[in-house]
């Protein structure tokens, strides 16, 4: 069964009259998860930065809430900030790995199972570095993340982006090649319908790699609006491919919103309605 999720937006998303109230990371995370569930989603997805913004006391409280079944967060994205480049010198690598260690521990405390390696700026290979050398550094970082996944019972998924965001892994097929080359048990693949459409990659790329595809994102290209706002042809083909390949993971709405509550509700209705017609 396909689950439907939505990313907690970066800005205000509360009902009218509350939007001007500044929210702490804790408030944004807790309220965001609640609002998203009330809009008809199965779960929510948050950024790593939002979760790392919690205090130790807030983290401990949410960990207890999770154990009691009152809080759930399965997926986090935007793993590495741009100021922690993966292709860097020895000192930079030490800082990057220490950051990853801290991030994984915090995700584990909240029960996160899937961590998304998008992070286009952080993973881009500088022009003055030979591509093979840069790729070797990324491979080494993936091996480190695989060890952390083994420790914490998690999976890291590589997110193919598009040429405007990175020069490393820009299609699902590119990402699949990396996953198969490094051959690490906790490194798997994500497919994002927005990036795929930008790169003119058809949904069949997902079916070709269904054995390693465990997470998906969806938005309408080229403006990254909510699924269903435009003609919906690519998004429908995307969902049909997932249905036909018996995908059992999550489809997360990841887009910009001008009216979060209204548009997120329409996105959920579009995805669920499309899947229902395919059943």
pLDDT, tens digit (0-9, with 9 covering 90-100), for 195-210: 999 999 999 999 999 9
- Residues 54-62 have a mean pLDDT of 97
Q: Which residues, at least 6 apart from 152, have a Cβ–Cβ distance to it below 8 Å?
A: 104, 105, 107, 108
Q: Which residues, at least 6 apart from 46, have a Cβ–Cβ distance to it below 8 Å?
A: 7, 8, 29, 32, 33, 73, 75, 76, 77
Q: How confident is the model at residue 16 (pLDDT cuts 50, 70, 90)?
A: very low
Whole-number average pLDDT of the chain: 95
Question: In Å, how far are 96, 150, 248 from 185, measured between CA atoms?
Answer: 22, 9, 18
How far apart are alpha carbons 124 and 127 in whole angstroms?
9
Q: Can you state the angle between helices 56-67 and 25-38, rounded to 10 degrees?
A: 30
Q: Is the pLDDT of residue 23 over 80?
A: yes
Q: Is the pLDDT of residue 20 over 60?
A: no
Q: What is the pLDDT of residues 104-119, one digit of tens each?
A: 999 999 999 999 999 9
Q: What is the pLDDT of residues 67-124, one digit of tens each?
A: 999 999 999 999 999 999 999 999 999 999 999 999 999 999 999 999 999 999 999 9
Please, where are the H alpha helices in the chain?
25-38, 48-52, 56-67, 90-109, 120-123, 131-152, 172-182, 193-198, 204-208, 233-244, 260-278
Q: Are 268 and 40 in contact (CB under 8 A)?
A: yes
Q: Is the pLDDT of residue 13 over 90?
A: no
Q: Is the pLDDT of residue 17 over 60?
A: no
Q: What is the pLDDT of residues 210-265, one digit of tens each?
A: 999 999 999 999 999 999 999 999 999 999 999 999 999 999 999 999 999 999 99
Q: What is the pLDDT of residues 146-194, one digit of tens each?
A: 999 999 999 999 999 999 999 999 999 999 999 999 999 999 999 999 9
Where is pLDDT greater, at 17 or 41?
41
- Residues 23-41 have a mean pLDDT of 94
pLDDT at 21: 54
Say how many residues make up the chain.
279
pTM score: 0.95
């Amino acid at each position: 069964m396909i689950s439907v999720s939505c990313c907690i937006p970066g800005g205000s998303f509360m009902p009218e009259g509350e939007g001007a109230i500044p929210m702490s990371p804790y408030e944004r995370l807790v309220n965001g998860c609640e609002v998203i569930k009330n809009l008809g989603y199965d779960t929510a997805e948050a950024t790593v930065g939002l979760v790392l913004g919690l205090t130790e006391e807030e983290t401990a409280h949410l960990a207890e809430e999770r154990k009691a079944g009152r809080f759930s967060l399965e997926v986090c994205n935007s793993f590495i900030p741009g100021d922690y480049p993966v292709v860097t010198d020895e000192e930079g690598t030490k800082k990057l790995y220490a950051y990853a260690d801290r991030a994984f521990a915090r995700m584990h405390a909240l029960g996160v199972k899937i961590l998304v390696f998008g992070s286009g700026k952080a993973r881009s290979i500088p022009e003055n570095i030979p591509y093979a050398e840069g790729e070797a550094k990324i491979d080494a970082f993936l091996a480190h993340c695989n060890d952390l996944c083994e420790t914490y019972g998690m999976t890291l998924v590589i997110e193919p982006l598009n040429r405007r965001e990175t020069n490393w892994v820009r299609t699902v097929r590119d990402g699949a090649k990396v996953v198969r080359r490094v051959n690490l048990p906790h490194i798997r693949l994500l497919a994002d319908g927005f990036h795929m459409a930008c790169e003119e990659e058809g949904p069949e790329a997902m079916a070709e790699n269904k054995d390693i595809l465990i997470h998906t994102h969806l938005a309408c290209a080229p403006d990254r609006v909510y699924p269903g706002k435009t003609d919906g042809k690519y998004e429908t083909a995307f969902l049909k491919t997932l249905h036909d390949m018996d995908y059992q993971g999550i489809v997360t709405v990841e887009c910009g919103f001008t009216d979060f509550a209204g548009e997120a509700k329409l996105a959920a209705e579009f995805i669920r309605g499309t899947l229902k017609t395919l059943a």
